[in-house]
Amino acid sequence: MKILVQDQDFDISAEMDAVCAGRTDIGAIVSFTGLVRDFHGSDKIHNMTLEHFPGMAERQLENICKMACERWLLQDVTVIHRYGRLCPGDRIVLVITLSAHRGAAFQAAEFIMDCLKTDAPFWKKEQTAKGHHWVDAKKSDTEKTEDWQK
């Protein structure tokens, strides 16, 4: 399991190569990359600042990944989440799940992202022409996380 919270960008291909190197037990690899959009509602976003709670963010991401490993048969998981000032098009998060079967890899990746959105201590502040504002949690994100508890 690899969990990183960092300010620098990540190389998706390098991360995929690293997690697969020398492995023959993998039947499926699923990756998700989250990007900064250039809009929020009707406002154009100039940049976004992501803040986190150091130490706690990594622990919570690790807990989320452990829960995924308990629910699905996974060979490995990688989560890299950035913080700091990001611009539209910049990468924010990478989730990679490896399993013998695609269903487990897909479901685990979705579970990790859903839980990350609601349970990990990250906060977004968006800068627009009107000024900056903190982004509130979405009800739909909370509902998705709650659905996994059923």
For the chain, what is the mean pLDDT?
94
**pLDDT tops 80 at residue 100:** yes
What pLDDT is stored for residue 142 in this prediction? 87
pLDDT given for residue 124 in this prediction: 94
Residue 69 CB partners (closer than 8 Å, separation 6+):
1, 77, 108
Distances 37 to 27, 50, 55, 61, 121 between C-alpha atoms, Å = 32, 13, 27, 23, 20
Q: Above 90 in pLDDT, residue 138?
A: no
pTM for this one? Answer: 0.94
- For residue 64, the SS3 value is helix
The SS3 of residue 41 is coil
Query: Average pLDDT of 125-149?
Result: 88
123 confidence band (pLDDT: 50, 70, 90): very high
Mean pLDDT of 96-100: 98
pLDDT at 33 over 90: yes
| Cα–Cα distance measured from residue 127 to residue 104, given in angstroms and rounded to the nearest whole number | 38
The predicted pLDDT at position 150 comes to: 79
CA distances from 70 to 25, 28, 129 (A): 18, 18, 45
Domain boundaries, the chain: 2-144
Average pLDDT over residues 30-38: 95
Average pLDDT of 128-148?
87
CATH architecture assigned to 2-144 = Alpha-Beta Complex (3.90)
- Percent of the chain predicted with pLDDT > 90: 80
pLDDT of residue 51: 96
The answer to whether residue 71 scores a pLDDT higher than 90 is yes
Model pLDDT, residue 106: 98
pLDDT for 6 equals 98
